[in-house]
Structure 1
């Protein structure tokens, strides 16, 4: 099963939280591994959480993020790091985040299929509607607080 996780077809990755450019996990995992980074949105999803966001299906909402195109030579290594960070252990397992392919919209209005880490079933139990991040923009919401 473990090898199956890392032989996944390469696709862009849509990130919306601490993996966005300039954020902590971007600096440790994605910086220097991408060939292109583009602003994008994920429609009909919203974000929940504080400190760490979780994307959950919610009609009419939007998640703000970026599409990261990872260098092909680094793909397997980066995917392993992302899966480890996101607590993804494989399809059908209990995961903190599930890695799924979704259509995301780029700033120019075009769309692209990308991997997105969505809240796993067990993670969705941790929050209520009161934990929704306004506007679906984690970076903007976090900048309102001084930790």
Structure 2
């Protein structure tokens, strides 16, 4: 008796083949890069963080070591640009934010973002988040959300 593809007794081996293939690729990659040997021999690396650099060279996002092993001074880092603040879970600078960036905050829609920008343009610069209390639609609850998600730059 021949088995057909619709035979309920026949097991589908495709998921197992995919898992074995992935394990094989990961193990070959680990051996080639020396990841397995490094994990057993070397101590844990120094903690690192990301910073936006504008100094000499190409400006951009770089990995920065917590301390310099050679004793040299690290390059100065600039504050994170306003557009990248939500990616790093940082508060958004209110004086640099545009409508699109303000709408990333929960509870702020496009209309409310336009009111904040109009208020900022009218005032010239916002010096404290509490100044937004005079914007139409800002009450104690909304001001609490704004204080948590915005910062004066």
Q: So what's the TM-score if we normalise by structure 2? A: 0.20
* Greater C-alpha radius of gyration: 2
Of structures 1 and 2, the one with the larger relative CO (CA 8 A, separation 6+) is: 1
Q: So what's the TM-score if we normalise by structure 1? A: 0.20
> Greater helix percent: which structure?
2
> Greater strand percent: which structure?
1
